[in-house]
Structure 1
Amino acid sequence: MKKIGRILLKIVLGILALLLVVFIVLKIVFNDDVPQGEKGAAADELGYAILESINNKDFTQVKEIHWTFRGVNKYVWKVQQNAVDVYWEDYKVAYATQYPQISFAWKGDQKLSGKELEDAIAYASKNFNNDSFWVVAPYKIFDIGTERELIEEDGKRKLLVRYKSG
Structure 2
Amino acid sequence: MKKIIKIITFLILILVSMLLGVLYFASKPLPVGQKGIKAEALTDKIQIAINQKAWDTTNVVSFTFRGNHHYLWDKKRNLIQVKWDDKKVLYNNKTLEGVAYENDKKLTDSQKTDAINKANDYFNNDSFWLIAPFKLRDSGTTRSIVMQDNQEALMITYASGGSTPGDSYVWLVDENYMPKAWRMWVSIIPIGGLETSWEDWKTFQNNLKIATSHKGLLDLKLENVQIGQSIEEINNGVDPFTEL
Return the alpha-carbon distance in structure 2 between the equivalents of residues 69 and 147 of structure 1: 28
The change in CA–CA distance for 1:40 and 1:5 in structure 2 (over 3 A counts) is same
TM-score normalised by length of structure 2: 0.60
**CA distances 1:59-80 after superposition (whole Å, capped 9, x unpaired):** 1222332222233321111222
**1:147 maps to 2:142:** yes
- 1:10, CA displacement in angstroms? 4.2
Q: Greater strand percent: which structure?
A: 2
> What's 1:159 paired with?
154
- 1:150, CA displacement in angstroms? 0.7
Choose from 90, 94, 106 the match for 2:101. 106
| CA RMSD after TM alignment | 1.8
Structure 2 letter corresponding to 1:142: R
> What's 1:127 paired with?
122
Report the 3-state secondary structure (helix = DSSP H, G, I; strand = E; otherwise coil) of the residue aligned with 1:38: coil
Any gaps of 5 or more consecutive residues in structure 1?
Answer: none
The change in CA–CA distance for 1:27 and 1:90 in structure 2 (over 3 A counts) is closer
**1:25 maps to 2:31:** no
> What's 2:54 paired with?
58
- 1:33, CA displacement in angstroms? 0.5
Return the alpha-carbon distance in structure 2 between the equivalents of residues 107 and 26 of structure 1: 42
Structure 1, 137-146 or 67-76: larger mean CA deviation: 67-76
Report the 3-state secondary structure (helix = DSSP H, G, I; strand = E; otherwise coil) of the residue aligned with 1:100: coil
- The structure, 1 or 2, with the larger RCO (C-alpha pairs under 8 Å, 6+ apart) is 2
Return the alpha-carbon distance in structure 2 between the equivalents of residues 116 and 153 of structure 1: 46
Choose from 20, 34, 41 the match for 1:38. 34
Any gaps of 5 or more consecutive residues in structure 2?
Answer: 162-244
Return the alpha-carbon distance in structure 2 between the equivalents of residues 155 and 109 of structure 1: 55
Q: Greater helix percent: which structure?
A: 1
> What's 1:95 paired with?
91
Residue identity over aligned pairs, in percent, reads: 33
Structure 1, 69-78 or 28-37: larger mean CA deviation: 69-78
